[in-house]
Amino acid sequence: MTSSGGELRTTILDAGEAPQGKRLFGLSNEQLTDTLREFSLPPYRIRQLGDALYRQRVRTLDGITTWPRDLRERVARAGFQIGMPEIVQTFRSVDGTERYLIAGDDAQTVETVWMPEGDDSPQETDFSADDDGPAEPGAWSRATICVSSQIGCAVNCQFCLTARLGIIRNLSAGEIAGQVAAVLNRHGVEPGRDRINLVFMGMGEPFLNFDPFIAAVRLLVSEMGIPESRMTVSTSGIVPGILRFAQEPVRPRLAISLNASNNPVRETVMPITRKWDIDQIIDAVRKVPLRARERVTFEYVLLGGVNDQPQHADQLVKLIRRANFPAKVNLIAWNPGPDVPFTTPCPEEVAAFQQRLREQGIPAFVRRPRGRDIYAACGQLKKTVSSEPLVEIRERA
């Protein structure tokens, strides 16, 4: 290797010769120390590496400019690589939403959604507690990234397209945090400067992939600098997962996909209710120590004629009063999918349901669907790559 010519050096370091499994992105400081022990790196070198991986999000070992060149070269020669996840395909919606397929650790791709917020009301899609006020039209003042935790999903919710895939596999911590890194890189976002929210509401059930999910949260909070108060995780009600979550010192806000006001209806739309019913879920949520001003979100997908009638709203009010912890309801009209036998209530019906909750003192918000035209909206993530009317931008030839 020559000592001059950055281009040559970069080529050598990224020649793609690194064996699989020597990827550094996704490892915690302790894991980096352990993985690189043959180099006997002092703690400050590990910190510099963490900074390069997660704050600067460099793509090549050569980009770790705080390291002397010979160290970068030795680490590269030993077969290590950054392994920053890369977006391989982008679908852009007319509403500004983008859906990405991101290269995974194997041939599978991971789905992630970017939802910029510009001139619309914060309460509709923003899961956070505070309100920034109106934003500049045409620009994004804050954005939400919807992150997947698995490829496919094992929970067989009848209204959700992801369920049709079944579970393909869990994602690693690096693949979960890597979705955020890839999207931040694409949009030039700096977490300390820009308002960014994360929702773990993409493909999969986070609480059925608990350890990698929580390891990713730790990386996102302590290494990438995204406050946990700006993250929300949604679960279909996996009780053992909720109980573990309750013990976590660093954790996102919690959302429960309730989607029905009583067990019989919930069983028909979410058969997992037979394993853990509504009361068991509520009891588990009670164990989560809420922070000041924190509320638990109940997500409620309105399915025409199934769970959207006035009596369902009244039951929901009673259920939330009985739960007796700070809560709010996010209503979303069902996003249709091919061959899924439900109907979407019209906006007036959604508004009436919301009004009925509000009149009885329950904070209720309506979430506007995002990116329906590109299969990016809730419940539509299904690795859809063709045959739909979508706008596609190929990132790679």
Give me the active site residues, please: 111, 378
**Given 160, 182, 329, 357, the residue binding ligand SAH (CB under 6 A):** 160
Q: Does the footprint of ligand SF4 cover residue 103 (CB under 6 A)?
A: no
Nearest to 36 by CA among 57, 50, 55: 50
Residue 382 vs residues 109, 162, 164, 301: alpha-carbon distances, Å: 11, 5, 8, 18
Shortest Cβ 345–ligand SF4 spacing (Å): 18
Residue 259 interaction partner, one of ligand SAH, ligand SF4, none, beta carbon < 5-8 Å per kind = ligand SAH
**Given 81, 112, 162, 273, the residue binding ligand SF4 (CB under 6 A):** 162
Q: Which is nearer to ligand SAH, 75 or 278 (CB)?
A: 278
Give the integer Cα–Cα distance in Å for 224 and 60. Answer: 18
**Given 93, 234, 307, 384, the residue binding ligand SAH (CB under 6 A):** 234
Q: Does the footprint of ligand SAH cover residue 288 (CB under 6 A)?
A: no
Q: Does the footprint of ligand SF4 cover residue 205 (CB under 6 A)?
A: yes
Q: Which is nearer to ligand SAH, 104 or 337 (CB)?
A: 337
Q: Does the footprint of ligand SF4 cover residue 307 (CB under 6 A)?
A: no
Residue 121 DSSP SS3: coil
Q: Which is nearer to ligand SF4, 41 or 329 (CB)?
A: 329
- For residue 198, the cross-strand partners are 145, 231
Contacts of ligand SF4 in 368-387 (CB under 6 A):
379
CB atoms within 10 A of CB 156: 13
Return the amino acid letter for 57: R
CB of 11 within 8 A of CB of 2? no
Residue 144 DSSP SS3: strand
Q: What are residue 271's phi and psi, to 5 degrees?
A: -55, -20
# binding residues, ligand SF4 (CB under 6 A)? 11
Give the integer Cα–Cα distance in Å for 266 and 314. Answer: 16
Shortest Cβ 10–ligand SAH spacing (Å): 39
Whole-angstrom distance between the N-terminal and C-terminal Cα of the chain? 30
Site string for ligand SF4, 245-274 (x = CB under 6 A): ------------x-----------------
Residue 163 interaction partner, one of ligand SAH, ligand SF4, none, beta carbon < 5-8 Å per kind = ligand SF4
Please report the beta strands in the chain, taking only residues with DSSP state E, as ranges in sequence order. 87-92, 98-103, 109-117, 142-146, 150-152, 167-170, 195-200, 231-235, 253-257, 296-302, 327-333, 364-366, 392-394
Q: Does the footprint of ligand SF4 cover residue 157 (CB under 6 A)?
A: yes
Q: Site residues (CB under 6 A) for ligand SF4? A: 153, 155, 157, 160, 162-163, 204-205, 236, 257, 379
Q: Site residues (CB under 6 A) for ligand SAH? A: 153, 159-160, 201, 205, 234-236, 257, 259, 299, 301, 332, 334-335, 337, 378-379
